[in-house]
Amino acid sequence: RSRKGPGGHVSAAGPVAACCRADSRSSDNGDNRCYHAGILGGGLMNLRIYFVGSHSSGKTTLARYVSETYGLPLLTEVARTILAEMETTLDGVRVSPKMADAFQNSIFQRQTQQEQDAAAAGGFVSDRALDHLAYAAEFSRVVSSIFTSTEFNPYIASLKASNVLVFFVRPHAEL
């Protein structure tokens, strides 16, 4: 859970935040991160944390907070980068089935590669996990080819690893 704190900043709620408030240690450079890796079962630097949910539910805000709090690299969605590379817009992709297929296939390839590269270097926080597969199923014809690709089963297996946490972020009632 999170809530808006003074100045509109997101603050953590729950046991992690309580621990950090009770025994926060500052380093010489003014860093106020909580240094209790044991809260998350140790091995924090190899932990992969995913936030999953609909658009505008706060995934990126939460992922950014966790990334900054625990010093883990932040992986964000790749769709906008791919749209720029394709020199088109989301509306432009949606009117062309061929472009939609290429777009969704590129997202799957790029997202899985980005996660593999980051996992090889240690832990990370991502504001996406299965989202790109849901969008591929909804907006293209390539989901069956993604599901039968050589990358799909290892990707799903990687999400089931013991060092992975996946959080579902429900949209706020007011949105």
Q: Residue 129: its pLDDT value, please?
A: 86
**pTM for this entry:** 0.71
pLDDT at residue 3 tops 70: no
Q: Residue 13: its pLDDT value, please?
A: 41
Cα-based distances in Å from 109 to 102, 106, 121, 148, 149: 11, 5, 19, 13, 10
pLDDT tens for each residue of 121-165: 999 999 988 888 988 999 999 999 999 999 999 999 999 999 999
**For residue 166, how many other CB atoms are within 10 A of its CB?**
14
pLDDT tens for each residue of 21-46: 434 444 444 444 444 444 444 566 78
> Is the distance from CB of 138 to CB of 101 less than 8 angstroms?
no
Average pLDDT, the chain: 79
pLDDT tens for each residue of 51-90: 998 888 889 999 999 999 999 999 988 999 999 999 999 9
Tokens standing for residue 48: 């992969």
